[in-house]
Structure 1
Amino acid sequence: MSRFFRLMLQSMAALLLFSALVARPAYAQSVLRDAETEALFADISAPLIEAAGLRPENVEIVLLNDDSINAFVAGGQIVYIHSGLIIEADNVNQVQGVIAHELGHVAGGHIIRFGEGVGQATNITIISLLLGAAAMAAGAGDAGMGIMAAGQRAAMGQFLAFTRAQEASADQAGARYLGEAGISGRGSIEFFRKLENQEYRLNIPQEDSYNRTHPLSRERVAALTDVYEKDPAWDRPVDPHLEARFQRIRAKLLGFVNPDRALREFPHGNNSLEARYARAYAYHRGVRPEASLAEVEALDAQYPDDPYILEMKGQFLLENGRPEEALPALRRATELAPDQPLIATTFGHALIATEQREHYEEAKRLLKAAVVRDRQNPFAWYQLGVIYSAEGDEARASLASAERQQMLGQHRLAMVSAKRAMNGIPAGSADWIRAQDIMMTSEHLVEKMKDKR
């Protein structure tokens, strides 16, 4: 291969790198669903979302199972937060600072405008390729290759400058949202300092941010400290109720994703609510059912009307093959938190798992209400499909499968299931129209996938 064509391929590879710098799609990572966590996310983000000029019901905060300290947006009004960030955060105010920053990206339309940065860099690269090719055609081979290499460097510099500008804009927007919501920016500064310490530990050069997509953390602290300190909310303390809820959730999450660390951080003898929470999940993940249930029973005795502790008790019993014993705890949790579709889904699952048909009607009612409240609950649709199939209603079982498959991005399967549902459901009925919508949407997406090949 000639040096000319080799350099052209390197230039095209640099262009592909620009798109790779976008955060990984959320579907490539594992989404963690938990009623208590999502309720806290909704409460701590609502004032920030309103300050950003958005509507809380249209914005989602999604937790991903990833141990890195990161958060990102990837289109739409969805903020993705890694489990590692929650575990390493010291308090709820730090998480609010992160959410405020990410909302700055959402409100600023930065993902939509990402193409502008790529386009500017691409233009530079293409121009350098043309100029380099012209120089080489004229006999100046080394000069031509130098022009191309310089074009690559300039293009990457242009692109990185664009992303750093977006990050700085999101920082300033986030500071404004915190101030308007009456929330201190201390947590934001604390978290950037935490990131700065991590950069030092990882030996990331601190001289300048030229070759980075983000400004250096120390640069961000310097730019934001004066803004935050002048804000009337700077000395406002963290809401103690929100902080207590955050510490519970952090402990629960730690026990779920890192049982060994949870048991080191919350050893026996520490009988705080957070410690028992963490150990309960750590033991459950470690397949130590008696130890996990002992921790849950202790919590239940101390907090008998806590829906999330009751949910945990029912979940552990259910997952240990004891669905009948799980029903009282899950029924009570559903009564105490009637607006939590994830709890209702677990209760419905337990009712079905008893394999007693007299429970199916109650389970169907719960699951139907759950899928109305929760736009992304494929497991609830799966359980509904089980009930429909047991009742001999294969058409609506197929519709439930189509709903679940569409949520999971299985568009070809969704199309087949929707067609099967339409063949057995009265034409023109609400369920038939819904099946038709899924079929048409899935057909369109399947065709788009074909076109991209």
Structure 2
Amino acid sequence: MIARWFRLAAVAVASLALLARPAAAQQILRDAETEAFMADMSGPLVQAAGMEPRNVQVLVINDPDINAFVAGGQYVWVHSGLIAAADNMNQVQGVVAHELGHIEGGHVIRYGEGMKEATGITLLSLVLGAAAIAAGGAEAGMGILGMGQQAAMGKFLAFSRAQESSADLAGARYLSKAGVSGKGSLEFFKKLQNQEYRLAIPQDNSYGRTHPLSGERIQVLREVYTVDPAWDKPVDPKLEARFERIKAKLVGFVSEPTQTLQKYPESDQSIPAHYARAYAWHKSAYPDKALAEVDALLSAAPHDPYFLELKGQVLLESGKPADAIPPLREAVQLTNQPLIATLLGHALIATENDANFAEAEKVLRNAIARDRENPFAWYQLGVVYEHRGDIPRAALATAERYSMMGQDQMALRSADAAMQGLKPGTVDYLRAQDIAMVSRAAVEQKRKKK
């Protein structure tokens, strides 16, 4: 991992948007175009690591730090700050390859091994220190305790550094097997080294750190990368162009509009610049300026599904849901992306036209069938069920949403309400029963802890 390991994560909503569980430290940024790009960019690396691409996801979280991590399962979490800081796609590939090394090495699972060894040293020092104190050697006892804690920390840090070095070499192996240059990996470690210089971190010894110093990593990896056949292999220009797009829209979405407009001034008429400014103007509540930027994008590529999605989003969130439906429909037809489909369902419901609710239900059910981990889609489907008077299924949709958000008490209440009106033994009843069982257990566990 680039810096820190374990973070709580959450699922999110349609289009480029945020959602986090209340206890989560970060928010996931869900975006159809970004997720499609990440899958295509990382696919060869995932295969090189011996994993199935469809089972591994690279997701972006809203955090300005230059960082990435894994935290269990086959997920790589990349900070928005890392993408914004990356000069090219190859640098991001180097980071992802490193994180895949942690997954393949089972480092999250083995984290407990390092903790167990360190804890054992700590406990032993406590016993010996207590014995020395009991024998009248208070000063000696305290010394033993202090040395024990220091030894335990040193043991754990050495374990952590070993895992990082292992992931570095594994990532280099995946890049080589996938035919991807390691130049980006070295360039990114150089960025981290420059940060270390700015923070005045001593460069002579990595003892006392969870990670080897970037200079040490560069020295080792340079010898591996420069002799690799893929060293001088250029990046795919189409993928690089897609990276510039998602980087620009991400900057436009997470940055202050004034910062975005400084980075992408009006004089810049490139596709990424139009993308970034569209989000900046939309965030600033200037829908006409945002739509002008989107229209500039569509004049260059009239049937680009992600430009159509953005137009639909701006129109919908500017209070024009009926106008948002045609571009969103076309975007769904072109991509079949569940996140965009959820946005279309939202637009159909927002018209408050009874004639649109049947289509909204169909669109949302199809979206959930392909991506169940979307609480906003469940919320919108619940609205549809409530509109037609199907209160039990509205309650079930609400239970699904609360369950994903970690609100166990609300999930339990909604699941119980759903079971009151659903026919026992049906698929929906059994699903409500499952949610109730899991949520009740979670609620009881929280009570015991209190």
Q: Assess same fold via TM > 0.5.
A: yes
Between 371-380 and 161-170, report the one with greater CA deviation.
Answer: 371-380
Instruction: Decide which of 13, 34, 39 is 1:37's aligned counterpart.
Output: 34
Between 375-384 and 225-234, report the one with greater CA deviation.
Answer: 225-234
For 1:392-407, list aligned pairs within 5 A.
Answer: 392-407=389-404
Give 1:249's aligned residue. 246
Higher helix share: 1
- Matching of residue 446 in structure 1 with residue 432 in structure 2: no
Instruction: Decide which of 25, 28, 31 is 2:8's aligned counterpart.
Output: 25
Q: 1:88-131 CA distances to partner (integer Å, 9 max, x unpaired)?
A: 00111111111111011111111111011011111111111111
Instruction: Please state whether the residue corresponding to 2:210 is helix, strand or coil.
Output: coil
- Matching of residue 104 in structure 1 with residue 87 in structure 2: no
Q: Which amino acid aligns with 1:381?
A: W
Instruction: Decide which of 166, 169, 173 is 2:170's aligned counterpart.
Output: 173
Give 1:214's aligned residue. 211
Instruction: Please state whether the residue corresponding to 1:28 is helix, strand or coil.
Output: coil
Give 2:304's aligned residue. 306
Between 294-303 and 351-360, report the one with greater CA deviation.
Answer: 294-303
Question: 1:311, CA displacement in angstroms?
Answer: 0.3
Instruction: Please state whether the residue corresponding to 2:247 is helix, strand or coil.
Output: helix
Instruction: Decide which of 350, 364, 376 is 2:361's aligned counterpart.
Output: 364
Structure-2 separation of matches of 1:163 and 1:119 = 13
- Matching of residue 391 in structure 1 with residue 388 in structure 2: yes
Question: 1:337, CA displacement in angstroms?
Answer: 1.1
Give 1:429's aligned residue. 426
Higher relative contact order (CA 8 A, sep 6+): 2
Q: What RMSD over aligned residues (CA atoms) do the two structures have, in Å?
A: 1.3
Instruction: Please state whether the residue corresponding to 2:58 is helix, strand or coil.
Output: strand
Q: Which amino acid aligns with 2:403?
A: Q
Give 2:47's aligned residue. 50
Q: Which amino acid aligns with 1:417?
A: S
Q: Which amino acid aligns with 2:29?
A: L
- Matching of residue 90 in structure 1 with residue 87 in structure 2: yes
Instruction: Please state whether the residue corresponding to 2:226 is helix, strand or coil.
Output: helix
Question: 1:384, CA displacement in angstroms?
Answer: 0.1
Structure-2 separation of matches of 1:45 and 1:270 = 30
Structure-2 separation of matches of 1:321 and 1:202 = 47
- Matching of residue 204 in structure 1 with residue 201 in structure 2: yes
Instruction: Decide which of 260, 272, 275 is 2:273's aligned counterpart.
Output: 275
Instruction: Decide which of 205, 220, 224 is 1:223's aligned counterpart.
Output: 220
Give 1:17's aligned residue. none
Give 2:139's aligned residue. 142
Q: Which amino acid aligns with 2:158?
A: A
Between 194-203 and 303-312, report the one with greater CA deviation.
Answer: 194-203
Q: 1:200-238 CA distances to partner (integer Å, 9 max, x unpaired)?
A: 112222121101100011111111111112221111100
Instruction: Decide which of 284, 287, 291 is 1:286's aligned counterpart.
Output: 284
Q: Which amino acid aligns with 1:305?
A: H
5+ residue gaps, structure 1, are 1-20
Q: Which amino acid aligns with 2:320?
A: R
Q: 1:280-318 CA distances to partner (integer Å, 9 max, x unpaired)?
A: 111111222221111111111221000000000100110
Question: 1:357, CA displacement in angstroms?
Answer: 0.8
Question: 1:451, CA displacement in angstroms?
Answer: 3.6
Question: 1:134, CA displacement in angstroms?
Answer: 1.0
Give 1:374's aligned residue. 371
TM-score relative to the length of structure 2: 0.94
Q: Which amino acid aligns with 2:6?
A: A
Question: 1:22, CA displacement in angstroms?
Answer: 4.3
Alpha-carbon contact 2:5-2:69 (below 8 Å) kept? no
Q: 1:409-444 CA distances to partner (integer Å, 9 max, x unpaired)?
A: 112211121111111111111111111121122222
Structure-1 separation of matches of 2:52 and 2:344 = 30
Q: Which amino acid aligns with 1:91?
A: N
Instruction: Please state whether the residue corresponding to 1:62 is helix, strand or coil.
Output: strand
Question: 1:445, CA displacement in angstroms?
Answer: 2.3
Structure-2 separation of matches of 1:140 and 1:57 = 62
Question: 1:28, CA displacement in angstroms?
Answer: 2.1
Q: Which amino acid aligns with 1:125?
A: T
How many aligned residue pairs are there? 433
5+ residue gaps, structure 2, are 10-23
Between 194-203 and 341-350, report the one with greater CA deviation.
Answer: 194-203
Between 46-55 and 383-392, report the one with greater CA deviation.
Answer: 46-55
Structure-2 separation of matches of 1:189 and 1:58 = 28
Question: 1:375, CA displacement in angstroms?
Answer: 3.1
Give 2:259's aligned residue. 261
Between 44-53 and 399-408, report the one with greater CA deviation.
Answer: 44-53
Structure-1 separation of matches of 2:439 and 2:52 = 29
Give 2:352's aligned residue. 355
Q: Which amino acid aligns with 1:220?
A: R
- Matching of residue 409 in structure 1 with residue 406 in structure 2: yes
Give 1:121's aligned residue. 118
Structure-1 separation of matches of 2:76 and 2:213 = 22
Q: 1:350-370 CA distances to partner (integer Å, 9 max, x unpaired)?
A: 000000010001111110011
